[in-house]
Amino acid sequence: MKPLEPVGQYLAQGVQQALRGEGATALASLRQALALQPHQAETHLLQALIYTHEGQFPEALQACQRALYLDDGLPEALVLRGYLYCLGKQAAKALPDLAQVQALRPDWWPVYGVRAWVYSRLQRWEAAVQDLQYALQLEPTSGDLCYNLGLAYHALGQPELALEYWGRALLLQPEMTEAHAQRATVYGELKDYERSLAEYDCWIQKQPQAAKAYYGRGTVRAASGDRQGAVEDFSQALQLNPNAGEVWFHRGLAYSVLGQTSAALADAQRAARIFQQQGNTSAYHRARGLVAYLQK
């Protein structure tokens, strides 16, 4: 086996560093490779991918532009540039890149998934559904595609279809707790409290440190008339996140209904202080209204 040329050594080193999560050192290795061989579009693309993973989006876009200057038909670079445009609040600029990729590789499902995300940013939900459905035909085992279809159908005001696709997502990826969260919320909105609570139970079983899950389950328990159960869930949520003003407020409401006025007042006052510190004026006045009511 022949030893790698210096460019190959730097590239291999950069890839290994990136796989180990050493983004900064990987980028340094790639810069050394590019200093020796600056006209390799794939190296610029790899650099763009690492910059994206590191959250350095302007640098990622610049690297993407360099890759496409060298090879204007590089599909992965076009998709990444479209993604970066969308992150930079230039979603409409992403669509020509993604259309070009679709023409080059019409059976490559990721381009439809990314374009659906772009359409969602533009509030073009019907177009997002169309792309996601086509992507799902090409990649029927993707839980992420099913999850995103649920989001799109929910945005279109079709909760039953949303629930169906989030359910399919969970069949494909049982650990997808965000699908349980969405189903729990929508069942709650539909006043199907039994199913909502079941979804919250699944979420908490898989993610017992999720303060939002206890808060959400508490609101459903309160809506269904189980005020004591709501207080227990709100208390657990506050143990996990004591700066959650909404949880203090809702626990105060639950205490008020239970006739525990002192506890209710203390929670309402705590909620008001947190909202004031956060600059949340409307929530602050709401909490102060509860304080005034309890002090009558």
Q: Per residue in 18-31, pLDDT tens? A: 788 888 988 888 89
Query: Is residue 245 included in any domain, yes or no?
Result: yes
Give the model's pLDDT for residue 5. 62
Q: Identify which of 210, 208, 228, 209 has the alpha carbon closest to the alpha carbon of residue 218.
A: 228
246-283: per-residue pLDDT in tens?
999 999 999 999 999 999 999 999 999 999 999 999 99
Query: Is residue 237 included in any domain, yes or no?
Result: yes
CA gap 152, 5 in Å, rounded: 49
Joined tokens for residue 76: 């992965």
Residue where one domain finishes, among candidates 106, 141, 174: 106
Query: Is residue 30 included in any domain, yes or no?
Result: yes
CB atoms within 10 A of CB 273: 14
pLDDT at 12 over 90: no
Joined tokens for residue 249: 């407020």
Query: Is residue 34 included in any domain, yes or no?
Result: yes
Query: Is residue 192 included in any domain, yes or no?
Result: no
Joined tokens for residue 6: 């210096």
Q: By the 8 A CB rule, do 222 and 191 touch?
A: no
Query: Is residue 125 included in any domain, yes or no?
Result: no
Q: Identify which of 136, 152, 146, 150 has the alpha carbon closest to the alpha carbon of residue 171.
A: 146
Phi-psi sector, 108: left (phi>0), alpha (psi -120 to 50), beta = beta
Q: What is the DSSP letter of 37?
A: -
124-159: per-residue pLDDT in tens?
999 999 999 999 999 999 999 999 999 999 999 999
48-69: per-residue pLDDT in tens?
999 999 999 999 999 999 999 9
Q: By the 8 A CB rule, do 242 and 271 touch?
A: no
Q: Can you give the CATH number for the domain in which 244 is found?
A: 1.25.40.10
CA gap 147, 86 in Å, rounded: 20
216-232: per-residue pLDDT in tens?
999 999 999 999 999 99
Domain holding 236, by residue range, is: 209-296
pLDDT at 10 over 80: no
pLDDT band at 93 (very low <50, low <70, confident <90, very high): very high
Domain count, the chain: 2
Residue where one domain finishes, among candidates 86, 106, 126: 106
CA gap 252, 287 in Å, rounded: 9
Query: How many percent of the chain have pLDDT more than 70?
Result: 97
Query: Is residue 143 included in any domain, yes or no?
Result: no
Residue where one domain finishes, among candidates 84, 106, 128: 106
pLDDT at 6 over 90: no
